[in-house]
Amino acid sequence: MSARPTPVAAVQTRAHDRAAFAQRWPALLARIAAAAESGARLVVVPEGTVPGYVIGTDPVDPHQIDAAAQDVIAVATRTGATIVYGGARAGEQGLANSAYVTTPRGIVGYADKCFLWHFDRRWFTAGNALEPVDTPAGRLGVFICADGRIPTIASTLVEKGAEVLVVPTAWVTSGRDPHALENLQADLMIAVRARENGVPLVVANKCGVEARSVAYCGKSQILSADGTLVAIAAQDDEAILYGTVAIGPSIAGLAARPPAVTRLAGDPLPQQLRIAIAAHADPELHAIARVADADLVIDPHAQPPSADVALVDDEAVLDPRALVGPRLDGVRLFVWRTSIDAAWVVPFARTRAAELRAYVVVFDSPRRRAFAVDPDGAVTCGTFGAFEVAAFAFERARTDAWRVAPATDVREGLVRTGNIIQGIRAEPGAAAAT
């Protein structure tokens, strides 16, 4: 089946407190309707729109949830659009943070958030399934917000036939710089998710502040199947993004099994180590590095003999599945020799490091450059021009720090997702997605 040019829309809304939902809902519904009436065949609305993201401890009124659903169904019926919006849902095992997939036939499916973030866990139970949803707009691979930090969630949906990735989200920000609100997914990972899976992606986020304590970064986006940005919203304004994407089979061409990774053998790396990197093999550079107090030097032909280290090629790094198993098995530093398009080298290196909490050393052969990325996804050092040897501090403890927010453990999320993929029942109390 060939790809179908399809008009889509992402509705970026201003955050509201749960108590204000009834007052805000008519305006929110009007924005959803405006997007659908514009001709968009797929409309995406943020996570936690109904009745809010910060639910708190008070019970959710099922009549309020049902009434909102009927309102959205009416818009879908009138316009013919497929509308995906985020809301609370009463699941079999408790309240789920869910995405409702709505068409003129009604609600045709749900996707429950699997990787709960921070205080999500106070009032939601985790989703337990990863299944695409068939709609008139195409086969949707729906996941929610922090699910995007687990690489195998999106890839599993695409392996099962998803033709477009749909992401209701509530990307939060620290507000470190109010003029440039940061979020790792918005600024880095989401484009990689589209590119590595080879399908378009539509993500809708909020702007503003909820419950006086949760700030959102905006930046809703529409991306094509090759990861090219089609449209992006500002960080601080409501907006309806429009774009046309080709919805159809993945263009990524992922193999049935992830590519192999070459793990080295030897003793574990020390707790702390100063590692120098050089873009090419040169004994003189090794001598210079020793003078600069480097404990060892890594170049394209010299790597430390340690089981903590694995060598990876482009095929492995571009596959969202390939590095997960080795990382869970104890690899802490990946050495990547690459010759891919320069525009994607840094995004992929930073994404792999951050999502797997590992160090990544990159040798970019065409550009004759080497650089290193730490487990937070930050580039720590790199060579350029006549600057031929650079160094960074390897800290083993940082690769053991899987928790990226309170009660939010990446290793736990990777393992749990692996169990879902293998059909192993998740822990008691987890909500089953419909």
pLDDT surpassing 50 at residue 434: no
CATH classification of the domain holding 66? 3.60.110.10
Average pLDDT, the chain: 95
Domain co-membership, 111 together with 183: yes
Cβ atoms < 10 Å from Cβ of 324: 23
Residues 149 and 275 in one domain: no
Question: Does 423 reside within a domain?
Answer: no
Out of 217, 247, 277, a domain closes at: 247
Q: What would the pLDDT profile of 265-277 be if each residue is shown by its tens digit?
A: 999 999 999 999 9
pLDDT-derived band at 430, boundaries 50, 70, 90: very low
Strand runs labelled E in 224-263: 229-232, 239-247, 262-263
| Residue 433 pLDDT grade (very low, low, confident, very high; cuts 50, 70, 90) | very low
| Same domain assignment for residues 310 and 234 | no
Does 266 lie in the same domain as 243? no
Identify whether residues 121 and 18 lie together within a single domain: yes
253: left (phi over 0), alpha (psi -120 to 50) or beta: left
* In a shared domain, residues 298 and 331: yes
Q: What pLDDT is attached to residue 1? A: 66
d(CA 324, CA 39): 40
**Rounded to 5°, angle at Cα 346 from 8 and 377:** 95
Among 215, 200, 310, 216, CA closest to 259: 310
Residue 337 structure tokens: 């020799």
- The strand order across the sheet containing 138-142 reads 133-135, 138-142, 164-168, 201-204, 221-223, 229-232
Question: Which of 247, 270, 296 represents a domain boundary (last residue)?
Answer: 247
Domain count, the chain: 2
In tens, the pLDDT along 126-139 reads 999 999 999 999 99
- Mean pLDDT is lowest, of 116-120, 159-163, 232-236, for 116-120
- Contacts of residue 283, Cβ cutoff 8 Å, sequence gap at least 6: none
Indicate whether 199 and 296 sit together in one domain: no
pLDDT-derived band at 428, boundaries 50, 70, 90: very low
- For residue 431, tell me if it sits in a domain: no
Q: What is the pTM of this model?
A: 0.95
Residue 104 located in a structural domain: yes
Query: What average pLDDT does the segment 5-18 reach?
Result: 98
Residue 331 has pLDDT above 60, yes or no: yes
pLDDT at 426 over 60: no
- 201 and 280 inside one domain: no
| Mean pLDDT score, 86-94 | 91
**Closest to 190 measured CA to CA, from 175, 201, 204, 182:** 201
Single out the residue of 322, 415, 300, 400 nearest to residue 358, CA to CA: 400
**Residue 350: predicted pLDDT:** 98
Domain span including residue 27: 4-247
In a domain, 424, yes or no: no
For residue 253, name the pLDDT band (cuts at 50, 70, 90).
confident
Token pair 């989200």 is found at 169
In a shared domain, residues 166 and 273: no
Residue 92 pLDDT greater than 90, yes or no: no
Q: pLDDT tens digits for 356-411?
A: 999 999 999 999 999 999 999 999 999 999 999 999 999 999 999 999 999 999 99
Rounded Cα gap, residues 11 and 72, in angstroms: 14
192-49-81 Cα angle (round to 5): 75
Amino acid at 95: L
**Domain shared by 243 and 358, yes or no:** no
Kindly state whether residue 379 falls inside one of the protein's structural domains: yes
Q: Which helix (H) or strand (E) holds 95?
A: strand 94-103
Mean pLDDT computed over 69-74: 98
Asked if residue 254 is part of any domain, the answer here is no
Amino acid residing at 118? H
Is the residue at 411 inside a domain? no
pLDDT grade for 93, boundaries at 50, 70 and 90: confident
Residues 240 and 266 in one domain: no
Q: What is the mean pLDDT of residues 174-186?
A: 95
Of 186, 213, 247, the last residue of a domain is 247
* Dihedral Cα 114, 116, 117, 119, nearest 10 deg: 160
Same domain, 232 and 343: no
Across 255-284, average pLDDT = 96
Asked if the structure places residue 309 within a domain, the reply is yes
Rounded Cα distance between 112 and 104, Å, is 21
